[in-house]
A and B are shown apart, each in its own frame.
Chain A
């Protein structure tokens, strides 16, 4: 796999996460319950479910990242070399490459109890993630491996996990954009019907 210069790799992940965080702070946290629970159809997730799903990933991977950061590491600016398996998983999540849908593993299926708490948790986890991304700039992200959430026998390079997380977050924030579009269309339609009603 083609090596990616470390500084550029980290800056890219940081920037993309910054965009996601800004969306969450500007929009998601200011949405009311109706907007957070609107779904296009019965089988599709609403915004709260998308964010809760992403939170289950953060809750699994971020403590693992913290455990890595809590240990002493040699300073390393070594380029990130994507692994073949990591590249495969990241590719699956890329909405620009394929719009295939997947069923979430059981541990990642969203169980929403408080929609506002999930939005706040999403923001808190992304803030933490941003800090970790930056801290990994000075650590080798190829040698350290992390077991994946759906099968502890499979381990990915730390760099692959970071890239996967960001791509997966983007996948579902793109989904949220589609939900918001559908919701505003539905509201507009309802307004037209109301105006036409005798």
Chain B
């Protein structure tokens, strides 16, 4: 692999899987076998609220978000995804229930993606892959709990600093309103923090 474009993308996925999980060579080959390349433009909704999650995504380029809306149409940005990492509405993927959330691109994006049915099939026939998916989803849950702790324990300024420490380039990649929503602070406070905190 590596000679074709898709081969190069699979190489990125392979390197990622090897770094974070331990699969035997056979299980790795099976896991990598069926991914397809997929591109999306800015602000494309990949998963609609109320629909099933059809794919597991692996982000190669761009920034995406998982968000929800309340009855008044107010948005809450819950999670950002960017390269290299898995993306999609993971709970809907696992349960097969309609998604409560949207998955949307915030910049033009490039992915690998695999139908959820294929993930489910592999999990049934290959216990290593099942274990890996369980670990991956648990890792994501850990991330969400961490964020919940930050939201409750940190001041706006601390949250802002913590985000910039984790993702220093995010200020030039994503409209600030999504970052403000993600941190649970209003837009006016966000611009005040921009001026106050030395980046």
Footprint of B on A, CB under 8 Å?
14, 18, 21, 25-27, 29-30, 32-33, 114, 116-117, 120, 123-124, 127, 130-131, 134
Contacts and interface: CB of A to CB of B under 8 A. Distances in A.
B176 interface: yes
B61 to A, nearest CB: 14
A25 B108 contact: no
Lowest 7 A-B CB distances belong to which pairs? Answer: A116-B191, A123-B175, A26-B172, A29-B176, A120-B177, A127-B43, A25-B175
Interface of B: 41-43, 108, 171-177, 187-188, 191, 194-195
User: In terms of DSSP, what is the predominant structure of the interface of chain B?
Assistant: helix
Looking at A21, A29, A32, A130, the one whose CB has the most chain B CB atoms below 10 A away is A29
A85 to B, nearest CB: 31
**Interface class of chain A by DSSP:** helix
B175 A134 contact: no
Contacts of B191: 116, 120
Contacts of B43: 127, 130-131
19 contacts: A18-B41, A21-B42, A25-B172, A26-B173, A29-B175, A30-B171, A32-B194, A114-B188, A116-B188, A116-B194, A120-B175, A120-B176, A120-B187, A120-B191, A123-B177, A127-B42, A127-B43, A130-B42, A131-B43
B166 to A, nearest CB: 18
Contacts of A21: 42
A131 B108 CA distance: 13
A198 to B, nearest CB: 30
A117 B176 CA distance: 11
Given A14-B41, A114-B188, A127-B42, 19 more contacts: A18-B42, A25-B173, A25-B175, A26-B172, A26-B173, A29-B175, A29-B176, A30-B171, A32-B194, A32-B195, A33-B195, A116-B187, A116-B188, A116-B191, A120-B175, A123-B177, A124-B177, A127-B43, A134-B41
B177 A30 contact: no
B162 to A, nearest CB: 19
A24 to B, nearest CB: 8
B73 to A, nearest CB: 14
Q: Max chain A CB contacts within 10 Å: which of B41, B175, B176, B194?
A: B175
B163 to A, nearest CB: 15
Contacts of A117: 187-188
